[in-house]
Every structure is written in structure tokens, then in C-alpha cells.
Structure 1
Amino acid sequence: MTTARDIMSHDAICVTSTETAAQAAQAMAANDIGALPICDARGGVTGMVTDRDLTVHVMAAGYDPDTYQVGDLPQSGEVVAAAPSDEADKVLERMAEHKVRRIPVVDDGGVSGLVSQADAALHMPETTVGTAVAAVSEP
């Protein structure tokens, strides 16, 4: 059985809600990634910030990225996460159900990784990935 741990990108980094949009964008650029979990002081995930969030809700809206805090970004509700031992198929189903392209993998110590569509494409059967991507992409 393939698990979230098997397909996730390891060494995920987080931002805190008080970090600025500019700091989040710099972290994304430095790590060549398009999303970051927003974590509290204990490492628990409180949300996600994506490059699209920064573009649409900060830059295009006319806010100053050097002062706009990541915690002020609109969040869609509950944080969709996975445990390292969750079956990879179930993680993709959760992505499809919630229409998210990335899911943080969380254990007792906080965020241990991130499963993205790209991770799934590299490690999962083509038909499984295709079904999940199609479902996430539906309007």
C-alpha cells in the first residue's frame, strides 16, 4: 500500500500568520514551491497560502506585500490535511473532494511534508492521478 509518506515532498517549510506576503513569496521563490502551510507556534496547520493567493488577494487588490500579513488572507474553512500513514489513494480522493491541489502531511510533531498533484503524478498510476486532477479542476 502506497502512503502519503511515500509520495510526499519532505522537509516542508511553514510560515506563521504574522509573516508578511512578501516573506511568504520570498520563501516560495527560494524553495521553488507554490504553496506553504500556515502554522501556529506548536507547528499545527491553521491554513495554506498559495502563490495565487498572493497574486490575487494581495498584489492585484493593491495591498502592500511588505505589510500585509499572511493571516489576513481569506481561508476557505477547515484545513484539509493528511497523516503520513494515510493511503495515497485516499489523499488524492480528499484533494478531489475539497478541490485543493496540495495537502499538508501532519503528524504529532507538526508538518512533515506536503502532497501535491506533481507528487502524485510522479508516484501514482496515471489513471488515478488523471481522475484526481480532473475532479480538482472542475468548476
Structure 2
Amino acid sequence: MKIKNIFEAPGFLKHVLALGILFGGGIAGALVFSTLAVVAIGSDSAGFAALGGAVLGIILGYPLGLSMAMIWLRFRTPYAGSAGLGVLGAVLGVLLTIGLAEVTHLNQNSDLLFMSFFIAVPLLAFLGYRLKLIWRVVSGKNI
């Protein structure tokens, strides 16, 4: 069974598969970006290259990988959505999670901050990606 056939079928499976593709793209982007950051910072920086690579990979690479996966999803599969609104959702997910960490006390528990970041960013990106179609259904244009 080809991946295009799964996206043409009605049901919940295509949404779960699309969200899984976004998660995979985000993880791949984080790995690639953190590796590039470690190489760019250099190994003679007393161990701070790995820390800088991890932070840059999470903050910049994860949303960039999500965005690339969304663009691939938009143009390579029949799963419709708006890639521009999806990228905006990914950026808003990063800004809201990091920006509201102090207010919501997420900065007191690093595990909770990490989990909320890796769930909120793809979820907001996915909602942004599907926002146009959700709005059409809610407004009654497709009913």
C-alpha cells in the first residue's frame, strides 16, 4: 500500500499519519541542526559545543524540520492544508512555549518544559496547517 492511498481514505488514520510525519520531520531537523551547530562551534570549546548544539537543535531545528515536513506533506501527498499557516503555527508554538515558561512555571521542571515543547509545537503547526479546511467546514461552505 502506497502512502498516497492512505491519505485518500476517509477517517482518522490519515490525520495520525500526518502528525507522525510532522513529528519525524521535527526530530530529523533537530538532529541535523544540532550536529551542524556542534561542528560550527567546534570541539575545543570546553564542552559547550554539545550544549549549544542541543539548544539550537531544539529551538531552531525542531520547528524548521516540522516546517520542511509540512511543505513535503503539502506538495507530495493529497493531504490538503496551508503550509504558510502551518509554519506560522510552528513559530507560535515555539514562542508561546518558551515565552510563557516563566508564567506557567514550566521552567521549574525541565521534563515538563521539554514535553510541552515537543507536543505543543507540532500540535499548533498541525492545527495551523489544517486551519483553512477547518474554517471552511465550520463556516458551512463544505456542508
TM category, shorter: under 0.3
Q: TM-score, normalised by structure 2?
A: 0.24
Q: TM-score, normalised by structure 1?
A: 0.25
Query: Which structure's CA Rg is the greater one?
Result: 2
Greater strand proportion: 1
